[in-house]
Structure 1
Protein backbone atom coordinates (compact mmCIF):
# COMPACT_ATOMS: atom_id res chain seq x y z
CA UNK A 1 0.00 0.00 0.00
CA UNK A 2 1.10 3.55 -0.60
CA UNK A 3 0.18 6.20 1.95
CA UNK A 4 0.62 9.95 1.74
CA UNK A 5 1.83 11.95 4.70
CA UNK A 6 1.77 15.74 4.49
CA UNK A 7 5.55 15.68 4.14
CA UNK A 8 6.31 12.37 2.38
CA UNK A 9 4.91 9.44 0.44
CA UNK A 10 5.66 5.97 1.76
CA UNK A 11 4.86 2.30 1.26
CA UNK A 12 4.12 -0.13 4.08
CA UNK A 13 4.94 -3.84 4.10
CA UNK A 14 4.90 -6.48 6.82
CA UNK A 15 7.80 -8.87 7.33
CA UNK A 16 6.26 -12.20 8.35
CA UNK A 17 9.60 -13.68 9.43
CA UNK A 18 10.47 -10.83 11.81
CA UNK A 19 6.86 -9.77 12.61
CA UNK A 20 7.61 -6.09 11.99
CA UNK A 21 6.28 -3.37 9.71
CA UNK A 22 8.70 -1.91 7.18
CA UNK A 23 8.05 1.52 5.71
CA UNK A 24 9.80 2.66 2.52
CA UNK A 25 9.92 6.27 1.37
CA UNK A 26 8.89 6.47 -2.28
CA UNK A 27 10.93 9.66 -2.71
CA UNK A 28 14.24 8.97 -0.98
CA UNK A 29 14.26 5.14 -0.77
CA UNK A 30 15.02 5.32 2.97
CA UNK A 31 13.33 2.76 5.18
CA UNK A 32 12.16 2.43 8.75
CA UNK A 33 10.82 -0.46 10.77
CA UNK A 34 8.83 -1.06 13.94
CA UNK A 35 6.38 -3.27 15.74
CA UNK A 36 3.55 -0.89 14.82
CA UNK A 37 3.05 1.17 11.68
CA UNK A 38 3.39 4.35 13.75
CA UNK A 39 6.77 3.22 15.11
CA UNK A 40 7.94 2.35 11.59
CA UNK A 41 6.89 5.79 10.31
CA UNK A 42 8.71 7.51 13.19
CA UNK A 43 11.82 5.43 12.41
CA UNK A 44 11.55 6.43 8.74
CA UNK A 45 11.29 10.11 9.65
CA UNK A 46 14.45 9.83 11.76
CA UNK A 47 16.41 8.36 8.86
CA UNK A 48 15.14 10.83 6.26
Structure 2
Protein backbone atom coordinates (compact mmCIF):
# COMPACT_ATOMS: atom_id res chain seq x y z
CA UNK A 1 0.00 0.00 0.00
CA UNK A 2 1.06 3.57 -0.59
CA UNK A 3 0.56 6.22 2.07
CA UNK A 4 1.05 9.97 2.17
CA UNK A 5 2.31 11.90 5.18
CA UNK A 6 3.13 15.62 4.89
CA UNK A 7 3.87 15.31 1.16
CA UNK A 8 5.99 12.21 1.73
CA UNK A 9 4.61 9.24 -0.19
CA UNK A 10 5.82 5.89 1.03
CA UNK A 11 5.20 2.16 0.87
CA UNK A 12 5.23 0.00 4.01
CA UNK A 13 6.34 -3.60 4.44
CA UNK A 14 6.83 -5.70 7.56
CA UNK A 15 9.82 -7.97 8.01
CA UNK A 16 8.34 -10.70 10.20
CA UNK A 17 11.72 -12.32 10.83
CA UNK A 18 13.17 -9.14 12.35
CA UNK A 19 9.85 -7.60 13.49
CA UNK A 20 10.72 -4.34 11.72
CA UNK A 21 8.64 -2.09 9.52
CA UNK A 22 10.37 -0.98 6.33
CA UNK A 23 9.17 2.13 4.52
CA UNK A 24 10.24 2.93 0.97
CA UNK A 25 10.07 6.35 -0.68
CA UNK A 26 7.52 6.03 -3.48
CA UNK A 27 9.57 8.26 -5.79
CA UNK A 28 12.91 6.49 -5.15
CA UNK A 29 12.81 2.87 -4.00
CA UNK A 30 16.53 3.12 -3.10
CA UNK A 31 15.58 5.39 -0.19
CA UNK A 32 14.19 3.37 2.69
CA UNK A 33 14.20 3.28 6.47
CA UNK A 34 13.31 0.82 9.19
CA UNK A 35 11.72 1.09 12.61
CA UNK A 36 9.95 -0.89 15.28
CA UNK A 37 6.78 1.08 14.50
CA UNK A 38 5.50 2.52 11.24
CA UNK A 39 5.72 6.01 12.72
CA UNK A 40 9.35 5.49 13.70
CA UNK A 41 10.26 4.21 10.25
CA UNK A 42 8.48 7.15 8.57
CA UNK A 43 10.37 9.61 10.79
CA UNK A 44 13.66 7.99 9.79
CA UNK A 45 12.69 8.10 6.12
CA UNK A 46 11.80 11.79 6.41
CA UNK A 47 15.35 12.48 7.63
CA UNK A 48 16.88 11.08 4.44
CA UNK A 49 14.18 11.93 1.89
Shorter-normalised TM-score: what interval?
0.7 to 0.9
Q: Which runs of 4+ in 1 moved over 2 A?
A: none
**Cα RMSD after superposing both structures:** 0.9
TM-score w.r.t. the length of structure 2 is 0.86
Given the two structures, how large is their TM-score scaled by the length of structure 1?
0.88
Stretches of structure 2 that go unaligned for 5 or more consecutive residues are none
The number of equivalent residue pairs is 48
Which residues of 2 match residues 1-48 of structure 1 at below 5 A?
1-29=1-29, 30-48=31-49
